[in-house]
Amino acid sequence: MANVDATTKSAFDRAEEIKLLANEAFKANKYTQAIDLYSQAINENSQNAVYWANRALAHTKLEEYGSAIQDATKAIEIDPKYSKGYYRRGAAYLAMGKLKEALKDFQQVKKISPNDPDAAKKLKECEKAVLKLKFEEAIAVQDSDRRSIADAIDFHSIDVEPQYTGARIDGEVVTLEFVKKMIDDFKNQKCLHKRYAYQIVLQAREMLRAMPSLVDITVRDGDHFTVCGDIHGQFYDLLNIFKLNGLPSEENPYLFNGDFVDRGSFSLEVILTLFAFKCMSPSAIYLARGNHESKNMNKIYGFEGEVRSKLSETFVELFAEVFCCLPLAHVINDKVFVVHGGLFSVDGVKLSDIRAIDRFCEPPEEGLMCELLWSDPQPHLGRGPSKRGVGLSFGEDVTKRFLQENNLDLVVRSHEVKDEGYEIEHDGRLITVFSAPNYCDQMGNKGAFLRFKAPDMKPDIVTFSAVPHPDVKPMAYANNFLRMFS
């Protein structure tokens, strides 16, 4: 018997030692490493709620909210009086915009720790957020009945004050001179006059609305084409991409693959710059929708608050409308399929099925459109649940079949921070590209973009590091409640 106890004890001791290493990795922002180590601790001792709750927090840091909820739930099962389990799960629900579920968990935290002032404060904020949500739901107009906000705006009737010294658009045409002046003003943290902001966003809306849900791009032999991943409001890093690779033009075209906004606190500058280039020259820049080009995400992760602070409430509605016009995927030279998230929960999806998606809406919680925006690759074959709690995970076999059935060579997607700014998976058939270096000022990752040259269309990968930006923290405009957790 003593022998068994010794074995058990040594497993418990090993688990504790591994947990301490995991905590160190977590403190160093090495969240993937922390998850691996917490998993090893759990293998040694699966009945310790702390390991599960700590791993849940590390998943949250990597935006793997589905996995965080699973781990926190396991911690609660092991110890129903462990307040951190509810706390971690509540925070993950919150990050997904599931406020009502979050509220239940924070009520439990308060019940277990009635004298904890921090728990009381967070519960109060959560109650406020749920009340606000209920009020918004009550006054919301059905999409089918909603009048377009764009149709109600006449930017020509807005006067520009004589003391305004910023960039100006002469007449109807957005020129390169204007875009350069606007970028310079943004660099110096000056605002664009709302007349010109309206003009850019409305013109971009017209162009995007006219495009199909799946856009075909042709690159002539000898010419090149650049694909960028998530920018997430990191305006100064966007300018660095242009410095390294040239401004967008007919001869130097770009595709930005979604998640232009949120998290970084210069999202408005990013989106106005990208939209202005689109207005200047439609074939110089292509834009795809990401999961963050949606009302639900913008409400939580900062874009809505930033637009309200820098422009107005009308612009909040206008951007929400324009984001619903963004195409969902691109195919370059009939070879490269580019999409923000990933592939599908069913086999046999053809490019024609993607073309047929009616995309002019907020992203649904399931189906092809949701999966295009939210899915992630996984290292093993087949399909699995999403670590994010939305979409799914898909294996190399799924990628290979999709490419074969559609006569394509490569999937390029974004959506996930990568240490080197990119990752090649699925036997070279899938590349993740992420263009926000030192994401949220804390991940220490590089950014990357891909340059394709026709006719062979093999990707040339360029990586780069973060550049300094003015002292405005990421998430500065985010939902007050979410900021309490970051």
What number of CA atoms fall less than 13 Å from residue 348's CA on the CB side? Answer: 1
Residue 120 CA to residue 377 CA, distance in Å, equals 39
Residue environment code for 38-56, b if the CB has 16+ CB neighbours within 10 A, otherwise e: bebbbebbeebbbbbbbbb
| DSSP summary character for residue 311 | S
CB distance 63 to 47 below 8 Å: no
Q: In the chain, how long is the greatest CA-to-CA distance?
A: 89
Q: Which amino acid is at 63?
A: E
Q: Which amino acid is at 183?
A: I
CA angle, 356 then 360 then 366, to 5°? 70
**What is the rounded (10 degree) CA torsion for 175, 180, 182, 188?**
-170
What Rg value do the Cα atoms of the chain yield, rounded?
Answer: 24
Residue 393 CA to residue 379 CA, distance in Å, equals 9
Place of tokens 């550049």: 467
State both tokens at 418. Answer: 């990568």
Decide if 292 is catalytic. yes
CB distance 307 to 319 below 8 Å: yes
Count the Cβ atoms, other than its own, within 10 Å of residue 30. 18
CB distance 202 to 316 below 8 Å: no
Residue 335 CA to residue 408 CA, distance in Å, equals 5
Estimate the share of the chain in helix, then strand, then coil, as percent rounded to the nearest 5: 50, 10, 40
Helix (H), strand (E) at residue 301: helix 295-301
- Residue among 232, 292, 340, 426 flagged as catalytic: 292
CB distance 377 to 236 below 8 Å: no
Residue 131 CA to residue 112 CA, distance in Å, equals 23
Q: Which of 415, 452, 421, 447 is nearest to 240 (CA)?
A: 447
Q: Is the backbone peptide bond immediately before 474 cis, with ω within 30 degrees of 0?
A: no
CA distances from 224 to 113, 241, 451 (A): 60, 16, 7
Residues labelled catalytic: 292
